[in-house]
Amino acid sequence: MADNKPGEGLWGWLGRQVGHVKKAVKSDVTQAKGTNVAAVEGVEEAVVYREEKAEEVELPDKPGVVLRRTVIDEVIVDPTKANEGGQ
């Protein structure tokens, strides 16, 4: 029994899970972390074109069930790479 290292087994696993939850509770969720890589690095992207389409169709074989399809088309220009194209 002296060879058992602390943190192994069921109680070690449970302690790690409690630690993960404790860290998640303390973390600030208002910061946009990893949502937009360019925004995190300080480079702003320009959305040149954006079109949103939403289609809803009720399924004929299942009354009360609606199929919704949403399509978003965007053209985004990165100003750091826009001048490199040569066009």
| 52-73 confidence digits (pLDDT tens) | 999 999 999 998 999 999 999 9
Please name which of 46, 65, 47 lies closest in space to residue 57, comparing C-alpha atoms: 65
pLDDT beyond 60 at 10: yes
Q: For residues 17-46, b (16+ Cβ closer than 10 Å) or e, as one string?
A: eeeeeeeeeeeeeeeeeeeeeeeeeeeeee
Q: What is the pLDDT of residue 2?
A: 43
- Per the structure block, which two tokens stand in for 60? 């004929």
Which pTM value belongs to this model?
A: 0.36
